[in-house]
């Protein structure tokens, strides 16, 4: 049985539930960041501890970028983000411990294959608090990568590309605060594209006219918001962020509802 925790998970094609890490209690009852991977069988109604440590606050073991290994592990921090068409799980961002055991925000991209029970460090930095490299808006590039962050939200489009929006982290200058950048990652090319939003922290919202889509519309910088995908649109609701005019030291909670086409 996994210990009590806050965190997310996946469901595979067979209906089994998977859980990775989060913040909670380890096998000794110690509170901290977790890096354990669990599977819950829909047929047997039993949990299996698959991999990772049963002790909190473990650093990442990155190995060689692009090479799967039985010894690789994201460590404490990265959260479940996407499932690809082949049933692999992908992890990005979060607050945790890097390859040197330093605590901070992460931007490493990981892939986990259930068939081999191995992690692959795919991209991003193996050290904490890396700034974003945005490149040219709308243009994919090998060097592009979102900055380290936590409390972002993600979804997958019909083509199998991965998307993320906002959170709290580092921008293109290395400044740290709330973000409103929209990114797309293509597993087939292993490239990120900065799609919309600001490449600096505390980007202000542009609401436009209620119910009318516009290229200039963008939610303001925020974190801890809700996202759901109906297959046609992604919907974003609320979170803690900024006033329409810019930064607010009180980080108010919002109840604005947005939609973005699933391209």
Cβ(162)–Cβ(185) under 8 Å? yes
Q: Encode pLDDT of 166-222 as tens digits.
A: 999 999 999 999 999 999 999 999 999 999 999 999 999 999 999 999 999 999 999
Confidence (pLDDT) at 39: 97
Q: Which two tokens stand for residue 225?
A: 């918001």
Percentage of the residues of the chain whose pLDDT score is greater than 90: 87
CB neighbours of 232 closer than 8 A, spacing ≥ 6? 261, 262
Banded model confidence at residue 1, pLDDT cuts 50, 70, 90? very high
- 245: pLDDT strictly greater than 60: no
User: 234: buried, middle or exposed (CB in 10 Å: 19+, 13-18, 0-12)?
Assistant: buried
Alpha helices by DSSP H, listed for 107-169, are: none
- 61: pLDDT strictly greater than 70: yes
Give all strands (DSSP E) within 17-59, no chain letters. 17-25, 31-40, 47-51
User: 130: buried, middle or exposed (CB in 10 Å: 19+, 13-18, 0-12)?
Assistant: buried
CB neighbours of 111 closer than 8 A, spacing ≥ 6? 68, 88, 89, 90, 91, 119, 120, 122
Banded model confidence at residue 263, pLDDT cuts 50, 70, 90? confident
CB neighbours of 52 closer than 8 A, spacing ≥ 6? 20, 21, 34, 35, 36, 37, 58, 73
C-alpha–C-alpha distance, residues 259 and 243, integer Å: 19
Confidence (pLDDT) at 125: 98
Banded model confidence at residue 251, pLDDT cuts 50, 70, 90? low
- 74: pLDDT strictly greater than 90: yes
Assign a CATH topology to domain 1-124.
Neuraminidase (2.120.10)
Q: What predicted TM-score, i.e. pTM, was given to this entire model?
A: 0.94
Q: Encode pLDDT of 122-160 as tens digits.
A: 999 999 999 999 999 999 999 999 999 999 999 999 999
C-alpha–C-alpha distance, residues 177 and 194, integer Å: 18
C-alpha–C-alpha distance, residues 43 and 189, integer Å: 36
Confidence (pLDDT) at 248: 56
Domain definitions of the chain by residue range: 1-124, 131-263
């Amino acid at each position: 049985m996994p210990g009590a925790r806050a965190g997310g998970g996946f469901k595979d094609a067979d209906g089994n539930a998977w859980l990775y890490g989060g913040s909670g209690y380890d096998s000794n009852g110690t509170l901290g960041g977790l890096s354990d991977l669990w599977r819950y069988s829909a047929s047997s109604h039993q949990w299996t501890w698959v991999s990772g440590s049963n002790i909190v606050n473990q650093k990442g073991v990155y190995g060689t970028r692009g090479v799967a290994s039985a010894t690789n592990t994201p460590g404490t921090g990265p959260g479940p983000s996407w499932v690809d068409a082949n049933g692999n799980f992908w992890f990005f961002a979060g607050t945790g411990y890097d390859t040197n055991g330093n605590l901070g925000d992460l931007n490493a991209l990981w892939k986990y294959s259930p068939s081999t029970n191995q992690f692959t460090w795919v991209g991003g930095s193996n050290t904490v608090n890396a700034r974003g490299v945005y490149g040219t808006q709308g243009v994919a590039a090998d060097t592009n990568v979102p900055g380290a962050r936590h409390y972002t939200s993600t979804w997958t489009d019909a083509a199998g590309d991965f998307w993320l929006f906002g959170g709290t982290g580092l921008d293109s200058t290395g400044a740290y605060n709330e973000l409103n950048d929209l990114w797309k990652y293509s597993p087939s090319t292993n490239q990120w594209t900065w799609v919309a939003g600001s490449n600096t922290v505390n980007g202000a919202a542009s609401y436009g006219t209620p119910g009318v889509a516009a290229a200039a519309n963008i939610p303001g910088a925020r974190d801890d918001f809700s996202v759901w995908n109906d297959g046609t649109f992604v919907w974003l609701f609320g979170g803690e962020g900024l006033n329409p005019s810019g930064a607010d030291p009180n980080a108010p909670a919002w109840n604005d509802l947005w939609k973005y086409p699933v391209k």
